[in-house]
Structure 1
Amino acid sequence: MNDSALIVTGLPIALGIIMFGLGLSLTIDDFKGVARTPKAVVVALAIQVLVLPLVAFGLVEGFDLDPLLAVGVMLLAASPGGTTANLLSHLFRGDVALNITLTAINSVLAAITIPVVTNLAIGYFDAQGELGLQFGKVVQVIAIVLIPVGIGMWIRRRSAGFAARADRPVRIFSIAVLVLVSAGALLGERENLADYIQKVGLVTAVFCLASLTLGYGGARLLRLDERQAIASSMEVGIHNTTVALTIALSVMGSTEVAIPSAVYSVFMYVFATAFGYAITRRHEQAGANPSLPIS
Structure 2
Amino acid sequence: MELLEALSEQAAFINSEVIPWVLRLVMVGLGLSLTVVDFKRVIVFPKAATIGLVAQLIGLPVAAFALAMLFDAPPVIAVGLVILAACPSGVTANAYSFAARADVPLCVTLSAITSVVTVFTIPFLINLALSVFATEGQLEALPITNMLGNLMSITLLPLVLGMLIRYWFETVAEKAVEPIRKAILWLMIAVLLLGVISSYQDLLENWAVAGVLVIVMNLLTMGLGYGAAKAFKLPQPQVVTITFEVGVQNLALAFAITFNILQRPDLAIAGLIYAAVMPATALAFVSIARRLLAADERATAAADASP
- TM-score (structure 2 length as normaliser): 0.85
> Number of matched residues?
289
Change (3 A) 1:288 1:18: closer
1:19 aligns with 2:27: yes
- Residue 123 (structure 1) shift: 1.1
Q: Which residue of 2 aligns with 1:155?
A: 165
1:198 aligns with 2:208: yes
Q: Which residue of 2 aligns with 1:28?
A: 36
Checking the alignment, whether the CA contact within 8 Å between 1:2 and 1:253 is kept in structure 2 is no
Q: Which residue of 2 aligns with 1:173?
A: 184
More moved, 195-204 vs 67-76: 195-204
For residues 211-263 of structure 1, give each alpha carbon's deviation from its aligned partner in whole angstroms, at most 9, with x where no partner exists.
Answer: 11211121110121111111111111121110000100011111111121122
Provide the C-alpha distance between the structure 2 equivalents of 1:138 and 1:270, rounded to a whole number of angstroms.
33
Q: Which residue of 2 aligns with 1:243?
A: 253
More moved, 167-176 vs 92-101: 167-176
Provide the C-alpha distance between the structure 2 equivalents of 1:183 and 1:5, rounded to a whole number of angstroms.
11
Provide the C-alpha distance between the structure 1 equivalents of 2:299 and 2:45, rounded to a whole number of angstroms.
30
2:155 is aligned, of 137, 145, 161, to 145
- Residue 101 (structure 1) shift: 0.5
More moved, 278-287 vs 39-48: 278-287
2:284 is aligned, of 239, 259, 274, to 274
Provide the C-alpha distance between the structure 2 equivalents of 1:153 and 1:287, rounded to a whole number of angstroms.
35
1:223 is aligned, of 211, 214, 233, to 233
AA of the residue aligned to 1:264: Y
- Residue 31 (structure 1) shift: 0.4
- Residue 80 (structure 1) shift: 2.6
Gaps of 5+ in 1: 291-295
SS of equivalent residue, structure 1 residue 224 = coil
Checking the alignment, whether the CA contact within 8 Å between 2:244 and 2:282 is kept in structure 1 is yes
- Residue 159 (structure 1) shift: 1.3
Q: Which residue of 1 aligns with 2:195?
A: 184
- Residue 178 (structure 1) shift: 4.2
Q: Which residue of 1 aligns with 2:102?
A: 94
Change (3 A) 1:178 1:171: same
Checking the alignment, whether the CA contact within 8 Å between 1:111 and 1:141 is kept in structure 2 is yes
Checking the alignment, whether the CA contact within 8 Å between 1:182 and 1:263 is kept in structure 2 is no
Q: Which residue of 1 aligns with 2:5?
A: none
AA of the residue aligned to 2:187: A
- Residue 158 (structure 1) shift: 1.2
Provide the C-alpha distance between the structure 2 equivalents of 1:168 and 1:201, rounded to a whole number of angstroms.
36
Provide the C-alpha distance between the structure 1 equivalents of 2:177 and 2:62, rounded to a whole number of angstroms.
37
1:257 aligns with 2:257: no
Change (3 A) 1:256 1:36: same
- TM-score (structure 1 length as normaliser): 0.88
Provide the C-alpha distance between the structure 1 equivalents of 2:295 and 2:16, rounded to a whole number of angstroms.
51
Change (3 A) 1:273 1:189: closer
